[in-house]
Amino acid sequence: MPASFDDFFFTYQALIYGVGVNGLLALSMYVVLAIGQLSLGQAAFMGIGAYVSALLTVKLEAPFAVALGAGMLAPALAAAIIGVPTLRLSGVYLALATIGLGEVLRIFYLNSETAGGALGLPGIPQQGGAWLIYLCLAIALFVFMAIGRSRIGRAMEAMREDETAASVMGVNVPLYRFGALVASAVLAGLAGALSADVSSFIGPNEYGFDQAVTILSYALLGGIGSPFGPVLGAIILTLLPELLRPLHDFRFVVNGLIIVIAVLYMPRGLLAWRFRRIGPAGEARP
Amino acid sequence: MLAQQLANGIVAGSTYALFALGFTLMFGVLRVINLTYGFYFSAGAFLALYLTAAGAPVWFALPLASILIGFGAILLDALLLTRLRRARAPELASLMVTLGATLLLYSTATAIFGTDIRRFPPAVFEGGAFEIAGVRLTLSQFLIVATAAASVAVLLFVMQGTRIGLAIRALAENSDATQLMGVNAGAVMRLVSFISGSLGALAGILVGLNYNAIQPYMGEAMMLKGFAVIILGGLGDIRGALIAGLAVGLLESLTAGYAASTWKDAVGFVLLVLTLWVRPAGLFGRAPVRRA
């Protein structure tokens, strides 16, 4: 490896990790939006994944694979507890139930001695690295591409268009809702576990409301016409504040604005970039 | 000790009820979860703070701030939701757009005002406290309970006993049919936005006065309680919001008194999840639980 590449990697290390992790988070948002639902618990699920895997690694010295697995399983459990009763209700209930999860968990992390309280958890050894993050991102993208062309993908698209019609056509709506929610929690948990692995430190305030809305802005910037849209949105919104330093302080303002503009004027995403095929007008409105 | 805990619970519960009142009304009639609602809470407190700092007497500044935020709510509703309403977009689209606007508003407010805690100028609200049967209440706490009770009473009277209330209820029931009956739906919607915006601001002003600690994100914490209250009370149910608000306040106060004060803020969320499992239509089961 040439020295210049090493320098480059070292300088932009955090950014390289950030792009991959945020790409995974954007995909975790995509799964739910793709069936016309909205979960605002992505940041909380990420936090659960980060804390569970970091605690297992630091306190119990569990093998890395076990820590990663638990970091995906735990948020899925949390998602099931919150999500299952909303499966047959209007989508508003899932959104409202998940939006509060992050704050409650923040209180929990802050007051739990095991979780390090306000100081967070330092000294997490790096066992994976950038390659693992991007491998996971590539696998997730590939799986979503494959699903998109299958029976499942068609059913998801039908649900996004019109849930009633989809259920009349024989789509098991509650089952799909459950599957999407669990898959999204698993992905967000994986992103959290991987980010904890590469950042050596996690704190209680990183998984709150701002982060949850930011994850949504990735998906809406890219549009949910294909799984590549949200990932592209995540890449842009992670790099942009670094390239334009003055933008850094206002990045949440920008993220909020993107959501407003995307929903009102560009329901296909600000980057109306469709990979597969062009649908009828208004098709991708979440 | 128990009596004081209960009194504190009722005061906190009254603020939740007052706050949730406007939120649930907005959902019941306009059919949107408007997440900017929490911002009215912060904005009301800030506006009242600046008005009193500019020398306005407190009895004038508080209602004025609340009314101004009411007009702000009409403006925000028009900016964010008119287009979606016209397109008959799904309700999650309006939830998302107000979510984006919420982040935008809060981060702008934080950029301007910072996150420092601000206080009303001294001697703005000389309350003093009085004691009834061993329970200490400050004047501002008394004001909170009285305002919440009066707001619920007035709102119920308007909704059930006046023609405007009839129009609002009809709009909540079926907006197309209501317009065909000659009701100016736009005007009624603006009125509802105004009422709920003022209620949200009023709650923020009173809470700001009571704790005398004002910062931009105060509405966000309140919003999380608001979700619990409106789901526990039943989405769109005014009486439900009152009872659920008091219930959350009392349970929080008892948790703080007899378990640990740190878990106080988790009470609302736990109640929310329990409600979804046990009784998604809310306490009284009157709220229409729309099935998928």
* Model confidence pLDDT, tens digit, residues A239-280: 888 777 777 777 788 888 888 888 888 777 666 544 444 444
Task: Name the closest residue on chain B to residue A85, using Cα atoms.
Answer: B277
pTM: 0.88
Nearest Cα to B267, choosing from A110, A204, A100, A206?
A: A100
Read off φ and ψ for residue A280, nearest 5 degrees: -65, 165
- Residues in A closer than 8 angstroms to B84, CB to CB, are 263-264
Taking residue B6's Cβ as centre, other Cβ atoms within 10 Å add up to: 17
Torsion sign, CA atoms A191, B273, A255, A244: negative
Tell me the nearest-neighbour CA distance from B245 into chain A, angstroms: 17
Helix axis angle for B218-233 and B37-53, nearest 10°, is: 130
Residue whose pair of structure tokens reads 């936090």 in the numeric block: A47
Burial of residue B166 (CB within 10 Å: 0-12, 13-18, 19+) is middle
Q: What integer pLDDT is reported at residue A275 of this predicted model?
A: 44
> What DSSP line would sit under chain A, residue for residue?
--HHHHHHHHHTHHHHHHHHHHHHHHHHHHHHHTTT-----HHHHHHHHHHHHHHHHHHH---HHHHHHHHHHHHHHHHHHHHGGGTTB-HHHHHHHHHTHHHHHHHHHHH-TTTTGGG-B--PPP-S-HHHHHHHHHHHHHHHHHHHTSHHHHHHHHHHH-HHHHHHTT--HHHHHHHHHHHHHHHHHHHHHHHHHHHS-B-GGGSSHHHHHHHHHHHHHH-SSSTHHHHHHHHHHHHHHHHSHHHHTTHHHHHHHHHHHHHHH-TT-SS---SS---STTTT--
pLDDT tens-place values along chain B, 292 residues long? 788 888 889 999 999 999 999 999 988 888 888 899 999 999 999 999 889 888 888 888 889 999 999 999 999 999 988 888 888 777 788 888 999 999 899 888 888 888 788 887 766 666 677 777 777 778 888 888 888 899 889 988 988 888 988 888 888 888 788 888 888 888 889 999 999 999 999 999 988 888 878 888 888 889 989 999 999 988 888 888 999 999 999 999 998 888 777 788 888 889 999 988 888 888 887 655 554 4
| Residue A5 confidence (pLDDT) | 66
Mutation pick from A86, A104, A172 vs chain B, by most beta carbons of B within 10 Å, is: A104
Residues of chain A positioned with their CB less than 8 A from the CB of B220: 209
Name residue B291's beta-bridge partners.
A89
| pLDDT computed for residue A2 by the predictor | 57
Distance CA A42, CA A55 (A): 20
Instruction: Report the 10 Å Cβ neighbour count for B211.
Output: 14
Do the Cβ atoms of B202 and B18 come closer than 8 Å?
A: yes
Q: Is the Cβ pair B92, A259 closer than 8 Å?
A: no
Q: What is the pLDDT of residue B292?
A: 40
At residue A280, the pLDDT reads: 45
User: How is residue A170 written in tokens?
Assistant: 């024989």
Minimal CA–CA distance to A195: which of A47, A59, A63, A40? A47
Residues A166 and A157: their CA atoms lie apart, in Å, by 9
Q: Taking CB atoms and an 8 Å cutoff, what residues of chain B touch A81? A: 273
> What pLDDT is stored for residue B130 in this prediction?
75
- The interface predicted TM-score of the complex, written ipTM, equals 0.86
Answer yes or no: do A100 and B292 touch at CB < 8 A: no
Are the beta carbons of A178 and A87 closer than 8 angstroms?
yes
| Angle subtended by helix axes A173-199 and A64-83, to nearest 10 | 140
Chain A's closest residue to B291, CA to CA, is A89
As a whole number, the mean pLDDT across chain A is 84
Q: Do residues A197 and A51 make contact, with C-beta atoms less than 8 angstroms apart?
A: no
Instruction: Pick A263's closest partner by Cβ from B96, B231, B277.
Output: B96
pLDDT score recorded for residue B125: 63
Say which residues have a Cβ less than 8 Å from residue A17's Cβ, sequence separation at least 6.
A130, A133, A195, A198, A199
pLDDT > 90: percent of chain A = 30
- Provide the strand spans (E) within chain B: 129-132, 135-138
Q: pLDDT 10s per residue in chain A (286 long)?
A: 456 667 777 777 788 888 999 999 999 999 999 888 889 999 999 999 999 999 999 888 889 899 999 999 999 999 999 989 888 888 888 998 898 898 889 888 888 888 888 888 887 888 888 889 999 999 999 999 888 888 888 888 888 888 888 888 888 888 988 999 999 999 999 999 999 988 888 888 889 888 898 999 898 888 887 888 899 989 988 888 877 777 777 778 888 888 888 888 877 766 654 444 444 444 444 4
Closest CA to A206 of A197, A198, A196, A216: A196
Residue A213 in contact with partner chain B when CB distance is under 8 A: yes
Residue-wise pLDDT tens digits, A56-68: 998 888 898 999 9
pLDDT at A136 (0 to 100):
92
